[in-house]
Structure 1
Amino acid sequence: MAAGTGLAALTAPLVTPAPARAAQHLWRWCFQCSGLWFSGNGGNGYCPLGTGLFGWEHPHRSAGSGDYVLRFVDEPGAGQASWVWCRLCSGLWSSSADPSHRRCPTGSLPGGRHDFVNSGHYKLEALPDMTNGPGGQAQWFMCRKCAALFFAGNGPQGVCPAGGSHEHQAGVGFEHVLRQV
């Protein structure tokens, strides 16, 4: 009862919004293939360069990489929402690319397909809508041959699982900006 009114105090229950899913960090740049791969599963994925000690290992190498953060498609904010993780190679690939251009370097599945089972769906910032502001690094592109995300800012374009170096066409597609922790 409220003091002096004789009426019971009415209170509405507190409603708290569901917590937004946190962005995912532990994405790394591989200095061998120039691709982006997820390092949070305890392994080093599968790099198309294959520089393992005995020639049969293909670990990504992340020396010199930052800790990149990717947002999920259900998080607020703009971005290109067509990116998925392959559980075989740990790389980030465009799900909107022609399936014949998506090539997993492991070669484990028929036709060189990736395995996107249990993948989150990610969105990436793209220029000119986004800025290369604090924590941002531009010059990330989708390879037109294999549909991987790769960094083109170091000169050599890395090793593409479709053969040769990764390629992007100027003026075609998006230049992405990745953020670091």
Structure 2
Amino acid sequence: MALPEGSERASAASDRRTFLTRSLGVAAGVTGTVVTAAAFAAPASATSTGSNRIQSTQDAWRFCTKCYTLYYWGYPTDGVCPAGGAHSAQGFNFILPYDVPETPNQQRNWRFCTKCFSMYFWGYPTDGVCPAGGAHTAQGFNFCLPHDISETSTRQANWRFCTKCFVMFYYGYPTNGRCAAGNAHSAQGYNFVLSHY
């Protein structure tokens, strides 16, 4: 049975809000019906003690069925899609690590674009091509994404960097989605493997 448009997002937001309210003892006044974007954009940071580091993660990252980009699904709107209109979420809810050290199998400098909501690589002198116009604009966490590790039932491989627009896109279909720089995305570099539930 199909859910009414937006009900999946409202349900996910409600479940997260309930969990946070119970686990952190937040006052009952926080349980109103309006959820602000800031509630999703900045989860509490984790702390570390010696080798027992609790990894900081953020969920609500989704695959767009129109452009194949990985984009943030935690706001009331869905950003700007290079295929036209807003992104359209489907599939897994990805959980991404941020503000952790880079390793041989984890690459830093993946950022959220405030204009199109896509995940893009922020490690070059320029910031790629944004479907909302101009270059991407970074904000928020510095994500450190795993690559070239085994795919499992809770980790999906075939996420790649596009050399034309700099976004992370899914490279597991016969076609490569829609790129803001024109035509399809062009894959290069690591094979990223992203955790999901």
Provide TM-score, normalisation by structure 2: 0.68
SS in 1 for 2:138: coil
Please name the residue that 2:187 is paired with: 168
Please report how far the alpha carbon of residue 98 of structure 1 lies from its aligned counterpart in structure 2 after TM superposition.
4.9
- CA RMSD after TM alignment: 2.2
Task: Confirm or deny: 8 A CA contact 2:160 2:170 kept in the other structure.
Answer: yes
**Structure 1 residue 79 corresponds to structure 2 residue 101:** no
Please name the residue that 1:90 is paired with: 117
Q: Which has the higher strand share?
A: 2
Task: Confirm or deny: 8 A CA contact 1:97 1:147 kept in the other structure.
Answer: no
Please name the residue that 2:195 is paired with: 179
Q: State how far apart, in whole Å, the 1-side matches of 2:190 and 2:125 are.
A: 16
Deviation track 1:43-94 (CA, whole Å, cap 9, x = no partner) reads 11110111xxxxxxx110113x210011003279751112000011100000
The structure with the larger Rg is 1
**Structure 1 residue 22 corresponds to structure 2 residue 56:** yes
Q: State how far apart, in whole Å, the 2-side matches of 1:29 and 1:92 are.
A: 11
Please name the residue that 2:160 is paired with: 141
**Structure 1 residue 115 corresponds to structure 2 residue 137:** yes
Please name the residue that 1:45 is paired with: 79
Please name the residue that 2:42 is paired with: none
Shifted more, 159-168 versus 90-99: the winner is: 90-99
Percentage of identical aligned residues: 27
Q: State how far apart, in whole Å, the 2-side matches of 1:154 and 1:59 are.
A: 21
Please report how far the alpha carbon of residue 97 of structure 1 lies from its aligned counterpart in structure 2 after TM superposition.
3.5
Q: State how far apart, in whole Å, the 1-side matches of 2:125 and 2:171 are.
A: 21
Distance 1:27 1:49, change over 3 A: same
Distance 1:116 1:176, change over 3 A: same
Query: In the alignment, which of 94, 100, 109 is matched to residue 68 of structure 1?
Result: 94
Q: Give the unaligned 5+ runs of structure 2.
A: 1-47
Structure 1 runs (4+) deviating above 4 angstroms are 16-19, 75-78
2:187 maps to amino acid: H
- Number of residue pairs matched by the alignment: 147
Q: State how far apart, in whole Å, the 2-side matches of 1:165 and 1:76 are.
A: 29
Shifted more, 72-81 versus 158-167: the winner is: 72-81
Q: Give the unaligned 5+ runs of structure 1.
A: 1-15, 51-57
